[in-house]
């Protein structure tokens, strides 16, 4: 999968060092993944929340942080849309961000 953008993740882990390792691992795993549908995501990340057919929320650092992505399965592209604390996540609409 092609991931757009790593910059958002990098900026986040600079401020939240405890998330750096997990975000880097997620990035490298997703980069080599070949997801064609949301079931493929769930197979690798059973705790991921499928919000819509293209929106997925990942728990980072035991659900301390949430990562929202939009996935275009046809073109194998993952767009990072949001990363933040659980409280910050509660203030957004994961379907729209």
pLDDT tens, the chain, 97 aa long: 999 988 999 999 999 999 999 999 999 999 999 999 999 999 999 999 999 989 999 999 999 999 999 999 999 999 999 999 989 999 999 998 8
Q: Is position 95 within any domain? A: no
pLDDT of residue 94: 93
Strand segments (E) across 1-97:
2-4, 49-50, 55-60, 65-72, 77-85
pLDDT of residue 97: 87
- The residues facing 68 across adjacent strands are 57, 82
- Domain of 64 in residue numbering reads as 2-90
Task: State the CATH number of the domain containing residue 13.
Answer: 3.30.2310.20
Write down the residue that tokens 């998330």 correspond to: 19
Q: Is position 50 within any domain? A: yes
CB 60 within 8 A of CB 83: yes
pLDDT of residue 5: 84
Q: Is position 97 within any domain? A: no
Q: Is position 96 within any domain? A: no
State whether residue 24 is helix, strand or coil.
helix
The domain tally of the chain equals 1
pTM of the model: 0.93
């Amino acid at each position: 999968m092609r991931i757009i953008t790593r910059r958002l993740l990098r900026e986040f882990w600079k401020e939240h060092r405890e998330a750096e390792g997990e975000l880097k691992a997620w990035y490298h795993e997703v980069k080599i993944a070949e997801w064609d549908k949301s079931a493929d995501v769930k197979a690798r990340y059973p705790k991921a929340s499928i919000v819509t057919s293209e929106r997925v929320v990942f728990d980072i650092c035991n659900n301390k942080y949430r990562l929202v992505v939009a996935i275009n399965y046809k073109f194998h592209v993952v767009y990072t849309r949001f990363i933040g604390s659980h409280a910050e996540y509660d203030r957004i609409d994961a379907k729209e961000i």
